[in-house]
Structure 1
Amino acid sequence: MCIEKKGESTIPNSDALNWIIGPATQCISLIAEETRVASLLQRAIAALAHLDPLLDIARQRLKSANKEVEVIDRLISEQRNGLGRWASELIEEDFDSINRHGIIGIWVAVEVAVEDTAVLILTKDTSALRLVADAGVKLPQSLVSPLTVTDARRVYKRLEAHTRRDRSAADGYRHLMSTLCISFTLSPEISNSLAELNYIRNCLLHRGGIADERASVEAPGLSFQLGEPIKIPSKRYLHYFDAVGKFALALLAGVLSSRYVQTRDHGVR
């Protein structure tokens, strides 16, 4: 269920007893779903690319039985000149197009999980606004805790800009969450992988998928050349999927050990 306020967007399960775990668990579910969809697409494409022999056999059977072959001939033509050829190209590219869409999806799941967790805290914890101000974020004096969802999202944008300054994406999100009393750790490997993923995501969405001068700083391990199209082979996709999954689990662990977890008998820890 959701808290419904006129004119405001809602966050799923925001009125549940342990509302704090909702965004992180939703993130984990979305990441798993994205990977299942990608796996299904890859299998379907592989099957489509190898459909020619089956269509040829079907045509021979129809012809042997003196049946019309016009429909099957049309299917064969479409297969060899359209979908089948495209499927073969996708396989040759190691599913680059699918992988590019996939990593955008799983990164968005992370962004939403962090933002929604912060927004829920800002709308439910009357001390949260003070935590943000104490961290050095400049806030309008007119704000009063607990915040509305709309005001909480505005405050979140300021907090995000403040905590991401001079930090990688993952380290910035970790610092942001710690400001709101959600603490967790990340290995340097995970932080670096997520920094690469964030850079690639930005290139795909904002720079036409072309590596720019930031590559040497934000993704030095990938050895991108300036002006080079960014490709996402399946091995790299799986690497980023693993990193995002570990981030989501770390966030969930931080949430579960936070003061916001409640029990029906004892309330907030």
Structure 2
Amino acid sequence: MAPITRLTGKTAVITGGATGIGLASAKRFIDEGAFVFIFGRRQDALDKAIAELGPNARAVQGSVSDLADLDKLYAAIKAERGTLDIVMANSGAGSQLKLGEITVEHCNEVLDTNIKGAVFTVQKALPLMGKGGSIILTGSSAGTTGAAAMSLYSASKAAVRNLARSWAEDLKGTGIRVNVLSPGPTATELAKAALGEEGQKMFANMTPIQRMADPSEIGAVAAFLASDDSSFMTASEVAADGGLAQI
């Protein structure tokens, strides 16, 4: 079978791109012909990812909640590539605190990354983007269903869904599309370590498909949204959640 080359010649940036869904998406984008910049906080994870991704990838260290770091990222992209075709705002933060225990620090951690980070990741990319550009926001099934002790995370992902609806209006006439990719339980290394074997079984049993997603499955959906195959889609949400939030 001939390789898929839907992203040939395109330049992409993926925040939170060194591990998990971000890394799987970077691999898929490169396999389909893209040049990818990954962005993340941990230099050791970035170095390891670049060793896996090969010559068509670059890494920039920084945080999406730090506007100076985002400026550094886009300066690097402009210097090497000139323009940008795909933005995947994938960085996310979330931890469990139930109502009555929520702290200001918890609010800042979740909302600075999941909302502020998404806003400025996209806004600062726009000067490099043009007609045919694709913005992908990583949502979550939790944005639809909610989850015990995860109210801020769930609310932030519901907000991400509405950002796409509003930004599709703001982007009218630019030729730039914006969509949300909402995974369900995904067997990233971080998730597997946090959940353990019993936790993974519990989440698998919550989905009609009866298993957790492999990160590569989410990366495949991201590549579809990045490509011209989704050219008539904007303001949409694609639920790659094994049916968790759909029934």
For the aligned pair, the TM-score class normalised by the smaller chain equals under 0.3
Structure showing the higher helix proportion among its residues: 1
- Structure with bigger RCO (C-alpha 8 Å, 6+ apart): 1
TM-score (norm 1): 0.26
TM-score (norm 2): 0.27
Larger Rg: 1
Q: Which has the higher strand share?
A: 2
